[in-house]
Every structure is written in C-alpha cells, then in structure tokens.
Amino acid sequence: MNENNKNIAFIGLGNMGGPMAANLVRAGFTVVAYDLSEAMLRRAADAGCRRVASAHEAVEGADVVVSMLPNGEAVRTLYLGARGLLQTMGPETLLIECSTIAASDARQIIAAASQRNIAALDAPVSGGTAAAAAGTLSFMCGGDAQALERARPVLAAMGANIFHAGPAGSGQVAKICNNMLLAIHMIGTAEALQMGVDNGLDPKVLSEIMCASSGGNWSLEKYNPYPGVMENVPASHDYEGGFSVALMLKDLGLAMDTAAGSASSTPLGALAKNLYQLHGGDPVNRQLDFSSIQNLFRRPVGN
Ligand code: NAD
C-alpha cells in the first residue's frame, strides 16, 4: 500500500459499498465511513470502519474519497455546490466515484474537482454483490492515467480487473453498455428457462445443457434467475439482496439517454427497459433483485 493512500473516506455503504469498504479494511487501509442509514453504519463499524456523523467529517484528513451511491442526483448533491464535499476536500485528495451515474454527471464532477486541483476518476463496477464481497469486482475507469495509477492499489483491494476505458465519463459509458446487455440476456435467459419448464424440463438440467451450449451466458451461469438452480444467488432467496429492479431501471434509463445522445439504435435495450418497467410497476417488485424478472414469465400454479 502506498502511504499516501492510507486514509480512505467511504460514502455509501449499501449492498455494494458495505462489502467494498470491508475489503479495504481487510487490506490494511484506515476507513472512515458515512451513510444516511444507521443500519449500514452499524454494519460498517462491525467490519472495522470508523463511523462518523457526516460526509464532511468523513473526508477531513482523507487521502482518498470513495463514493458508492444510488444515483446521479445523490452524487451531484454530495459533491457539488457551496455545501458540496469538493469544498471540504484538500487539493491532494484523490476522488474515486464508483456509483453508476450518467457520463455527463461524472464529467461535471471530475471537471469541478479538477478546478480545485483534486484528481478524480469515474470508476463504476461490475460483478454484483458477490464480487463486492469477494473483492473480485471489475472497475471501468474514466479519467487521466496518472489518477488511475494512484487509485490502482485502492481498486486492487476491492477488485480483480481494472480497466482504463478512456477520459472522464468513459467508465460510465462502458458500464451502461454492459448493463444494457446484462438486462437483455437476463430477460432472454428467464424466458428460455420458463419455456423449458412449461414443457416439462427440470430448470437445473436445462441450465446445465444451455451452459455447455451456445446459449451459455453470465445470467445463466453465474446468476441463474430460476429459483433452486443455484444456491448462492438471489433467485434462491426470494430474490432478496443483489441488484434491485429499481437500480436496473435507472441504468436502462441512462442507456436510453446515452443512445439518444449518440443517435444509436438500441431496440433490444428499449424492449428490456419496457419489460422491466412492466415488472417494476408493482412497488414490491422494484425492491427485488433484477433476476426476479423470471416472475413475469412464470405461470400461476395450475395453469
Ligand atoms: P444501495 O441502495 O444498497 O446502497 C446505496 C447506499 O447509499 C445506501 O446505504 C444509502 O443509505 C446510501 N446513501 C444514499 N444517499 C446518500 C448520501 N447522500 N450520503 C451517504 N449515503 C447515502 O445500492 P447498491 O446496490 O449498493 O448500489 C450502489 C451503486 O452501485 C448504484 O449506483 C448501483 O447502480 C451500482 N451497482 C450496483 C450493483 C449491485 O449488484 N447492487 C452492481 C454494480 C453497480
């Protein structure tokens, strides 16, 4: 570990941020943690973080600030404006923003940071909560190469793959391309599994066959949406935890905005957003893991 990176402020300790902060502690960093939620603060303290009462308190004396918040509005409010954290952070601080937000928001925050001589990266992640816990996330970084080199030891304590996608905002573009594709293959996997089950197949056997065939994909192999096929996935735990339908809908909205901005044709992305909207129309479903889209295809018992 580089001694210049030792003290880390971590803001946002939810499904992803909590285990990421815990891995930083395990790697020997000193982590000062802040979240709006008392339950998340308690969990972070149990993992060895020092909890504080405000984000401003967290960044005092920090070498590195990492944030993992739900959306762009939360990130903009946290950093920008007269009461924003950029006003409190010292010029030697490195900012690593890991939330999934619009590339334009990331560029705005990185530009504002740079005006205060603060080095900053957008570094959204892929891999889900299991990879966050295992420290095997993929980081997709946007920003200058020097900032990335400084961030590398911190990122390496939380992830297995670190990519430099390009200048500020590029990490977010890569992330949103990835998540649009994820939504598409999750829905395709769910409908294929259901068709097999409706025709008398055991979803475990069908999954094994498709994993070894040309239908194999991450949703099928690592995050199977059919309950009971895999043990350690949300589908086998009433779709609790994981990556919520609400967050997937946010990402698909970002994907559609990105496509509109570049006049790209994304018909399957648009359909995926439409299907998730239908599924998320029920507020209970919005809080479930995104693999619960399986329920859109399942028939009520007896039909
Ligand atoms: P989450 O809702 O579980 O956690 C977000 C946390 O941020 C919550 O604990 C909330 O209390 C806290 N928070 C919100 N506003 C805050 C503020 N102003 N100050 C301090 N804390 C604040 O969400 P998550 O699943 O951990 O996702 C976080 C980000 O990571 C999102 O942008 C999401 O799109 C992205 N992501 C999630 C996954 C996943 O599998 N869950 C995977 C990749 C990327």
Q: What is the pLDDT of residues 75-118, one digit of tens each?
A: 999 999 999 999 999 999 999 999 999 999 999 999 999 999 99
Could you count the other beta carbons within 10 Å of the beta carbon of residue 142? 29
55 lines ligand 1 (CB under 6 A): yes
Residue identifier of the C-alpha nearest atom 1 of ligand 1: 14
For residues 113-131, give the mean pLDDT: 95
19 lines ligand 1 (CB under 6 A): no
In angstroms, rounded to a whole number, what is the distance separating the alpha carbons of residues 201 and 95? 50
Residue identifier of the C-alpha nearest atom 42 of ligand 1: 128
Distance (Å) from CA 67 to ligand 1 centroid? 9
Ligand 1 atom at minimal distance to the Cα of residue 100: 32
Compute and round to an integer the Cα radius of gyration of the chain.
20
Is the pLDDT at 303 greater than 80? The verdict is: no
> Does the model's pTM come out above 0.85?
yes
Can you give the pLDDT at residue 15? 92
188-243 per-position pLDDT tens digit: 999 999 999 999 999 999 999 999 999 999 999 999 999 999 998 999 999 998 99
31 three-state secondary structure? strand
Ligand 1 atom at minimal distance to the Cα of residue 99: 32
16 lines ligand 1 (CB under 6 A): yes
pLDDT band at 5 (very low <50, low <70, confident <90, very high): confident
DSSP string computed for 202-244? -HHHHHHHHHTSTT--HHHHHS--STTSSSSSGGGGTT-SSSB
Distance (Å) from CA 15 to ligand 1 centroid? 7
Ligand 1 atom at minimal distance to the Cα of residue 247: 34
35 lines ligand 1 (CB under 6 A): yes
34 lines ligand 1 (CB under 6 A): yes
Domain ranges of the chain: 3-168, 173-296
In angstroms, rounded to a whole number, what is the distance separating the alpha carbons of residues 187 and 56? 41
Give the domain 173-296 fold.
Answer: N-(1-d-carboxylethyl)-l-norvaline Dehydrogenase; domain 2 (1.10.1040)
Q: Would you say the CATH fold of 173-296 matches that of 3-168?
A: no
Superfamily of domain 3-168: NAD(P)-binding Rossmann-like Domain (3.40.50.720)
Nearest to 251 by CA among 164, 186, 199: 186
